[in-house]
Amino acid sequence: MKLSIIRSACGSLRIHQARPGCRVSGLSRRCPPVSAASGRLIVRAASATTSSGTSPKLAVNFGKQSQKEDGLECDSSLREVVQSTKEALVALQRKNPTIQPVLAIIQAGEDDSLLETNKKIAEKIGLNVTQICLAKHCSEDEIVEEVLKLNEDPRVHGVYLHLPPTSLTHRVLNTLKPEKDVDGISYSNMGHLVQGDPNKGLVPPIASAVMDLLEKHDAPLEGRTVLMIGAEGPLGVAMQFQIERRGMVALKSHWSFNNLQRQVMQADAVVLLGAENIDIPPTWVKPGAAVIRCEPTLETDEHATEMSSKSGLGYLTAAYRIQNVVRSSSRWLQEQQYRQWWLRSLKLQPLTPVPSDIEISRAQTPKPVDQLAKEIGLLPEELEAYGRSKAKVRLSLLDRLHTQPDGNYILVAGITPTPLGEGKSTVTIGLVQALSAHLKLNSFACLRQPSQGPTFGVKGGAAGGGYAQVIPMEEFNLHLTGDIHAITAANNLVAAAIDARMLHEATQSDKALFNRLVPSVNGVRRFSPIQMARLRRLGINKTDPASLTPQEVTTFVRLDLDPSKITWQRVVDTNDRFLRKITVGQANTEKGQIRETGFDIAVASEIMAILALADSLEDMKNRLARMVVGTSRCGQPVTAEDLGVSGALAVLMKDAIKPTLMQTLEGTPVFVHAGPFANIAHGNSSVLADKLALKLVGRDGFVVTEAGFGADIGMEKFFNIKCRASGLRPNVVVLVATVRALKMHGGGPNVSAGAPLPREYIDENLTLVAGGCHSNLRKQIQITHLFGVPVVVALNVFKTDTQAEIDLVCQIAKECGASDAVPCHHWAQGGRGSLELAQAVNDAASRPSNFQFLYDLEMPIVEKIRTIAQKVYGADDIELSPEAKTKIDYYNQQGFSSLPICMAKTHLSLSHMPEKKGAPTGFILPIRDVRASIGSGFIYPLVGTMSTMPGLPTRPCFYDIDLDPVTEEITGLF
């Protein structure tokens, strides 16, 4: 009862708030007597849209009713409808105490007669009525504009168009959402009524009121004849089908019909629906018949107003309208609940030999993204389409389904890969295709967005491969919805803010800085909210800029960044090795502010890691504010919030925080979101994508998410960093292995990207396979067991693998502790080729999981690093460089010691030495430096030399990427 809506095309709006429990007074007129001799029920009705769409005025005389009561209390039908509607509203609010249904009346002119009728009924039931008055001769555009606003207002559950019939155009009726059309005049509601299914639509209130009176008449309804005179338009149709559904015979006529008197004399009831103000002579009506008149009017003459104030049927019609509002509210609330999936799979027809990835992608027509969204239970308002095949999903979904149990949470990791990659993304996609399209279990894949650096550099497309892909693969690999570009813009805004602040501090006095940072606007000087936050952090509890002391002014305006200790770099989403180290500030305008800095690739930005770990927009904003960009000369960390830029960063990232919905080749849903590096960051897709997907799949569904690189890197960080941030716990780990990688770990020759594979990897070699299984595969299974999660080994089968090699891998994997090990043929067969894996994962998920973290956050930083090095990598111990020790002492002093650890090391070996394959032992892990991503929420030690800016090879992938200018088809993306 607190809703107020203030908007109108003509600027005239009445807002009325009903108060539940209020006593309605001022209606003491007695009902006029009815002749008992005739036994007729005579009703003059006005309160709903008539056959022509006009609002009727109300005048009622009741026969066979108590004449001791008056006003609202004189009609038992009214009391019954009001009471039942009130009970329905109470039950609805018991389920959801926050819901408060509202009826909005859009009308032409400022007549309040109809409003008062609806308001009095609303008061008795306990909801609000809002009136929007347009100009008397308002245009179609003005009406549509108001309707659109009310359509999108979640607080409004019913809209009544109290407009002239000429204003109820096809466009207006099509614009009004059927679920809010409480007068039942939209085409959709009429369609439900005609099809004999009024429970799916809303019945016109005047039709319900008239039927109510007919049912209370003395004679039984079945077989009776009801004559409707002037029954044109939606109300006539509604009335006809309501009458026929009650077993009566409905006849239609017009005032000009020659045999009208004969038809009236034969009818058991007469309903006057036309616009003509003509009465039926009493001598025409046979004894015991009922005559009901609906007199259309929009005029505001005194007679019409007076008649309305006497109307019992007018209030009954209003009561049915309010009942429709409550029904609409109930249906809306039902729509907010979890929806069962009705997923339509796309058929695959795998070819042999398998075509290129892009040819396979183009051969499949993806479902429109809005159709996919509907199939998996998303509401239209939760979707922001980016073209036909992809869309952002709003985070409001989490609020809507907050009580919905999560599904099963599956992590896909891998053994230590070759430089060619072992197909974790492909396995992830093949698994969800098998689960959803073939086993009919709800499943969602959650993948990282590929960087354009590798796409045009050494890797090419990253949408999966073969018949296990995300489609359209061109859109997946190129730009997508612009998240990486948003990160680039935000990251570089911080970099620009750093250098600009250093320049201004170096060239201005404290007073000049203060005057420019806190300018006087119209003679008033105020701190901005972000400046107030900085003052509080500095311990200055003042709000008036004029009250600061000179020392406080100095402390406030000077960040005093040490140029040699700035940790923030610029980013670009291109492999450009010549930007690894650059010099900035060389122009004369920079006044000698020259310093060395560099570029990272965009996905290495801390903002990317924040995007992946944030669990809400507010959390992301707070993390952005906490980002440390450097250190002051007195040794204090300087944050993005100190720079005053964190609010702007949130603005740049407000759309990027929403996951992108796409689909696989078999039409199963995929969330693509975030893409942090797996060596310097945690290398996992976003927490938010996983959380949204876990709600959508339902209790028995599956969310399959992927960790970067081997289990020693991506999986360890998934558990110790991502699971701490999300609060989620996985049920199963799928460990991806290939015969090729196992042969390498078993002693095979080096594998290099772009070079032909040595014969050992093409010919059968069981000795090399067994060596890799007993070393690297065994170790990665052991790492998984450290966290108490069951593991299923998925052998990604290549065409060069022999059956003996496949059988040997599966046998040894089970001996090493895997709950199951199965071959996967998704690349050549799609989901059907991963059915065995899907069944193994389903079985493993039904077993209990005893998840545990590897270390306690309160352990010292050094001990957390040592725990990872010894238990995960197999090192004997760690060795800290002097610089690393100094950094750890600094982080302890600043209160960062309780953050988790994100090790930055090579992905090509369990150790820090890329050439050491298998499961190296007996080594000391060197920690050359330790850095902090405070916004992301982790400490990352550097093991060896880690590059955050890849370079292009001699022959990059872009040599093969091209565009046909006629067809606009892309070639070369695999």
Q: Would you name the residues annotated as active-site residues?
A: 424, 426, 448, 459, 678, 709, 798, 827
Q: Under a CB-based contact definition with an 8 Å cutoff, are residues 910 and 776 in contact?
A: yes
Cβ neighbours of residue 282 under 8 Å, at least 6 residues apart?
38
- How far apart are the C-alpha atoms of 246 and 221, rounded to whole Å? 7
User: Nearest 5°: phi and psi at 25?
Assistant: -125, 175
Question: CA 683 to CA 707: how far, in whole Å?
Answer: 6
Distance of CA 723 to the CA centre of its chain: 21
Q: Are the beta carbons of 324 and 158 closer than 8 angstroms?
A: yes
CB 491 within 8 A of CB 570: yes
Encoded amino acid at 88, one letter = A
Place of tokens 């009726």: 173
Hey, is 845 helix, strand or coil? helix
**Alpha carbon distances (Å) from 13 to 5, 122, 146:** 9, 19, 12
Report how far Cα 527 is from the mean position of its chain's Cα atoms: 35
Rounded-to-10 torsion of CA 867, 868, 873, 875? -40
| C-beta neighbour count of 95 within 10 angstroms | 11
Q: Rounded to an integer, what distance in angstroms lies between the CA atom of residue 534 and that of residue 556? A: 8
Cβ atoms within 10 A of the Cβ of 546, count?
Answer: 7
Supply the DSSP symbol for 256. Answer: T
Q: Report which of 918, 946, 814, 923 is spatially closest to residue 415, judged by C-alpha positions.
A: 918
Give the span between the Cα atoms of 140 and 163, in whole angstroms: 11
Q: Are residues 703 and 446 in contact, defined by beta-carbon separation less than 8 angstroms? A: yes
> Residue 181 in contact with residue 210, Cβ under 8 Å?
no
Q: Rounded to an integer, what distance in angstroms lies between the CA atom of residue 215 and that of residue 437?
A: 52
d(C-alpha 369, C-alpha 350), whole Å: 24
Structure tokens at 324: 């429709």
Task: Using the structure block, give the residue that is written with the tokens 């090419």.
Answer: 460
User: For residues 884 and 868, what is the distance between their CA atoms, to the nearest angstrom?
Assistant: 16
| Dihedral angle over CA of 171, 176, 178, 179, nearest 10 | 170
Please, what's the b/e burial string for 603-638 (b: 16 or more CB within 10 A of its CB; e: otherwise)? bbbbbbbbbbbbbeeebbbbbbbbbbbbbeeeeebb
Q: Alpha-carbon distance 17 to 942, whole Å?
A: 64
Query: What is the Cα 751 distance to its own chain's centre?
Result: 42
| Token duo for residue 439 | 């086993």
Return all residues near 58 (Cβ < 8 A) that are at least 6 apart.
44, 45, 46, 47, 117, 307, 308, 310, 311, 313, 314, 315, 317
Using alpha carbons, select from 307, 237, 423 the residue that is nearest to residue 43: 307
For 271-292, the three-class secondary structure string (H helix, E strand, C coil) is EECCCCCCCCCHHHCCCCCEEE
H or E element that contains 824:
strand 820-824
d(CA 194, CA 779): 68
d(CA 148, CA 563): 54
- Cα separation of 607 and 885, whole Å? 26
Contact 690, 728 (CB under 8 A): yes
**Beta-ladder partners of 672:** 447, 660
